[in-house]
Structure 1
Amino acid sequence: MPIIKSAGMNARNAALAPESETSVHTGDTAVASLAERPALHTGAHSSPAQSPTTVRKIKEAAKTLLPDALFLSLLHHKCIGRYPRLIHPVTFNEKILQRNLHPDPRYIRLSDKLLVREYIARKIGDKHLIPLIAAPDSFTPDVFDALPDAFVMKANHGSSFVEVVTNKSETSFEKLKKLADRWLHTDFYCVARERHYEMIEPRIFFEQLLLDQRGRIPADFKLHCFGGRPGRPIIYILVISDRFGDATHGDVYDIDWNHLDIEIGDYKRSPAPAPRPRHLQAVLDVAARLCEDFDYVRVDLYAPDNLVYFGELTFTPGAGVLPFTPDSIDFEWGKLMA
């Protein structure tokens, strides 16, 4: 089986992907409005219309000049449909925007997908870490040659930097090197102004490819954990199934595995709930342990068969521009955060 590409985009990536000139909505942002303003007609000496590529480059360059708070306000309006209250936040997304602008210093090290491994090993034990194959200072042909037939290539400094390789003979060093270089040259802070990512030094690393007993990539368990109170945290479980395939779904469950009528981002619910995992309590116990020092964090886990592996800690999911269906969930989850 060839390399499997990630299917679909999360809310952050979908919102910030370059827009084609046929899909721009007038008024989405001040930058879009400026770029779409028709050229003035001045007679025989008029300049020719700018190409779509030129217009897009102007728009992207103009966005970089916006202050973080203004950029995030416009982006929130574009994705959520209303301007955020940044001074007195109420909704989940508004409170995440505050984290973008004023991150806890701990977020830097714990959002680094390499450095966080030390924290996880101390907190819950290295048995929950996906085996690390290599974290080289640079990606060279020798590194590629030493990789096993199947592996996952990742970058440590942002979201969606994941390439699954199931058969190394069907790819090449040059192909992966080009992809890795693109990741390394992406300033993830600039994507959605999540300031803690600005302090992470980009690196490429390689992990073992996790497969369940049927040889399939396990589902992602993204546990939204609201702590900061006595007793167990409040947890909602988003399960992303067939993430790298053609039938990707996102289903939200409570801790009793009730299938909730909630959609997060672009993920659509499955027609029917998945069977309750036999080791659901082990998944919940790991998430509760990892979230106990925070009033909110999303804990990403993989749970193939009867095992539980750590994926990442995310403190600003969706960068504060994460659509919910119904929209009332944005307000309900906002009440659970400090």
Structure 2
Amino acid sequence: MNFFERKYYQLLVKYLKNKPNADEAYIKANYYLKNNRRLNLDNPVDLSEKIQWLKLYQYDESYKKYIDKYEVRKHIKETIGEAYLNELLGVYEDVEEIDIDALPNKFVLKGTHGSGYNIIVEDKATLDWPKAKAQLKKFLSQNYYDKYKEIIYRGIKPRIIAEKFLDQLNDDAILDYKFLCFHGEPKFIHVKALEDGIRKEVDYDINWNKLEIPEERSNYLKRSLDKPDNFEDMIEIAKVLSKDFIFVRVDLYSIEGQIYFGELTFLHKGGMKRVISEPHNKIMGDLIKLPNKK
């Protein structure tokens, strides 16, 4: 893609973003801009193409009970049990409802209606609360649907929840295990971990074999990670939580032997980013059997 073509698509994406009934056109233009390749929705092949197909033609607003970070707690209680939920400290519809003095020294504030709406507080004494309040108000004002046109987010009620801060001993940061599940079967694990002070990512297959990549990438975790002692239990939980879905990512944490539920994500990376090993875009895509359009 040359300079002029990129500028054209940047303007096209900006134009289509807020245009009514233009979701498909917006997604096609944005996909080309980000990946320098056309999106094939008539005969999708790889993982990102099939995620875009699911985004447009399968996963609708009825899925919000699984992705709303407050409402999903009920689903988790009914499927795997309350013991896998992080402690809830509060739920708020307005930022002014948050009593910062009543919260512990460490906690996390999350927007329930999207991804990335987080404020992590490791020491309340150093928190700039007015600045944090302004950020939370900004979160509440946003509709995450507008970012990637993911219809499943469109009808979620914006709220803020406060949760217990999860410490992970003897490590730089908590490890985030993201199980990629296809028709109820976990096949790959996308892991995020800290290396050299930078959050990086790596992928493993279900037998905990690291997926090697042919080229150097700055965001690729070079060090090897030990398989969690309770890995088999995590697999079983991922199976239970994914059994009713074509494709879903089940995010879990393992801290001192205790498994915690993170979230359910139906559109891994919004379908806009290739997975870290290019051949696996096709391998993972082959695992998804698409139904007829709704």
Q: Give TM-score, length-normalised by structure 2.
A: 0.89
> Which of 50, 61, 64 does residue 18 from structure 2 map onto?
64
Which residue is 2:139 aligned to? 183
Kept in 2, the 8 Å contact 1:31–1:62? The answer is no
Task: Specify which of 99, 117, 121 is matched with residue 54 of structure 2.
Answer: 99
Q: Find 1:319's aligned residue among 250, 270, 273.
A: 270
**1:228-260 deviation line (CA, Å, top 9, x unaligned):** 5xxxx14201110029x8232211111221111
- 1:171 aligns to 2:127 (yes or no): yes
- Correspondence for 1:32: 10
The equivalent position to 1:81 in structure 2, one of 24, 29, 36, is: 36
Letter in 1 for 2:224: P
8 Å CA contact 1:96–1:316 kept in 2: the answer is yes
Q: How does 1:287-298 map to 2 (within 5 A)?
A: 287-298=238-249
Cα distance, 1:32 vs structure 2: 2.8
Q: How many residues align?
A: 284
Give the Cα–Cα distance (whole angstroms) in 2 for the partners of residues 267 and 181 of structure 1: 33
Deviation for aligned residue 1:215 = 7.4
Alpha-carbon distance in structure 2 between the residues aligned to 1:133 and 1:267: 37
C-alpha separation in 2, matches of 1:208 and 1:196: 27
SS in 2 for 1:27: helix
Q: State the distance in 1 between where 2:77 and 2:84 align.
A: 8
1:54 maps to none
Once the two structures are TM-superposed, the CA of residue 298 in structure 1 deviates from its matched residue by 0.2
Query: Which protein is bigger by CA-based radius of gyration?
Result: 1
User: Which residue is 1:235 aligned to?
Assistant: 187
- SS at structure 2 position matched to 1:223: strand
Shift of 1:281: 1.1
Q: CA RMSD in A?
A: 2.3
Mapped to 2, the partners of 1:223 and 1:267 lie a distance apart of 22
State the SS of the aligned residue for 1:248: strand
Structure 2's unaligned 5+ residue stretches are 290-294
Q: What letter corresponds to residue 231 of structure 2 in structure 1?
A: L
Cα distance in 1 for partners of 2:120, 2:241 equals 26
**In 1, distance between residues paired with 2:75 and 2:49?**
28
8 Å CA contact 1:221–1:300 kept in 2: the answer is yes
CA distance in structure 1 between the aligned counterparts of 2:98 and 2:117, rounded to whole angstroms: 22
Aligned to 1:159: 115
State the match for 1:308 in structure 2: 259
* Structure 2 residue matching 1:122: 3-state secondary structure: helix
1:274 pairs with 225, 228, 231, which one?
A: 225
- Cα contact 2:61–2:153 (8 A) shared by 1: no
- Does the 8 Å contact 1:141/1:173 carry over to 2? no
Query: Which residue of 2 is the match for residue 18 of structure 1?
Result: none
1:249 corresponds, among 182, 191, 200, to 200
Letter paired with 2:18: T
**Native 8 Å contact 1:26 1:32 kept in 2:** no
Counterpart-to-counterpart distance in 2, 1:186 and 1:33 = 22
Contact 2:17 2:146 in 1 (8 A): no
**Cα deviation, residue 99, structure 1:** 2.1
Percent same amino acid at aligned positions?
29
Kept in 2: contact 1:123–1:290 (CA 8 A): yes
- Counterpart code for 1:65: K
